Amino acid sequence: MLADSRREEAEKVIRTVRLEMVRERFQNVKLWVVTVLLACGAVEMSAAAEFDISEILSDFPDFSLLNQLLTKTKVAAEINAQTGITLFAPSNHVLSAFQADVPNANDDFMGDLLRHHVAMQFFDMPGLQALQTNLSVASLLQSAPGGRAKDDVVLIANMPPSVLLDNSVETRVVINITQVVSEISIIQVDQVLRPATFPSLTPVSSTTEPPTDITATLDSFGDFSLFSSFLKQTGVDTIFEGRQSTAEGITVFAPTDDAFNLLPGQWFQNFSDDEQRLFMEYHALDRFYDLGDLWEFKHLPVNTVATTLDKPGSFLLHINSTAGVVNVAAGRSNATITATLFQATPFIMLAIDTVLLPYELFGDSMPIEMNLSVSTPGPAPSSLVIPPPPPPPPKSIARGPHSSQSTEPPPPAIPGGAPEDIRALAASLTFTLTTLVASFLLSSSLCL
């Protein structure tokens, strides 16, 4: 009995040694095959690196309208030809509301608008939230046919707890929908982006030439009728239009009707004709600055048209950019730029949320009922910044026929019994080795 027991133990040891030898030889062969596959697999890896934006978005029904527009305008093909990019994606609800506001937008208009939503740099949510400085990132619109917007950029500012886009407190990134690592990241935004290089967000201003009638352009937006009427009444509209033909150009700040309605009834009529003209000229800088320029201003005093034409050294505005918000400080009020209404070099018209009140006209005798206290230039009120929900981990997309999870069967356990275990292991190893060799032959043919 003792001899039989020792013989069985010896056989177990022999089988174990044989198994380990088989595994070792197999691993050596496997390592050699994998090395060759890596060396010759450049073609296959390159093919796997391609993505199809239409196919990716088809997995997300809330972005079906964006997918349709990208295909219709042929922007999808331009996106597929890029790598290392970020698509800022408005949902169906956001895009539908925008189309309702701009019902006559043609394919060229929508194509350029969508190109502006593609930043030519890869960002995920952690990357955006880690930004320490404001960024101006080239957009796909820079490469639009005909060179319509060679300087177009997406403006990005990390203003915790939100990341803002295009200098607007109303346009925030929401969530990282999905990404193909280092190739394309798709991030949802809660508003349609408003490109500064666009002449307007309405079809009425689809030209890239400066407007011949500033008041008509203002009237097309519907929210600037009071500013437009004051321009006509004082004749300052012709002064502004005349500066379009100068080398310096002009930057116009247009307060909304709501901003004017905060002021008491007859304040404008109480000014003399000259004072009314100075007041309106105070709402324009004496040269052209786009938003990218204004982003660089830090408490900088700037001449207005009133300074240049009438009152040298006075009627100044102070421009300051903080965390992606541009503030315009007047003598008795402080405004924030909320949107680009029209831009065609050397003319730009920017919407502001407060009427600019020069100290030279209002001084210390400003009526109390106006109740417009001057605030220190800085970021917009925090109440306008809605924290986005915490982003879930982005959905990973498997590229090509390979997934991120290994499909290779786990190594079999070391047998301790019948010789059938060795035969089963050998069969498993043979199958796996055959698969590797077949893959090697296929890759070799591609390399050739």
Q: Which of the four pLDDT bands, split at 50, 70 and 90, describes residue 379?
A: very low
53-198 falls under which CATH superfamily?
FAS1 domain (2.30.180.10)
Residue 121 has pLDDT above 80, yes or no: yes
pLDDT cut 70: percent of the chain above it: 63
Residue 447 has pLDDT above 60, yes or no: no
* Domain 53-198 shares a fold with domain 210-380: yes
Residue 164 has pLDDT above 90, yes or no: no
For 387-411, what is the mean pLDDT? 41
Distant-in-sequence, close-in-space partners of 63: CB < 8 Å, separation ≥ 6: 57, 89, 91, 92, 177, 188
Q: Which residue has the higher pLDDT, 171 or 205?
A: 171
For 76-103, what is the mean pLDDT? 87
Where do the domains of the chain lie?
53-198, 210-380
User: Which pTM was predicted?
Assistant: 0.45
pLDDT value at residue 354: 94
Q: Which residue has the higher pLDDT, 163 or 71?
A: 71
210-380 falls under which CATH superfamily?
FAS1 domain (2.30.180.10)
Assigned token pair, 131: 């930004």
pLDDT value at residue 215: 92
pLDDT value at residue 411: 45
Q: Which residue has the higher pLDDT, 294 or 369?
A: 294
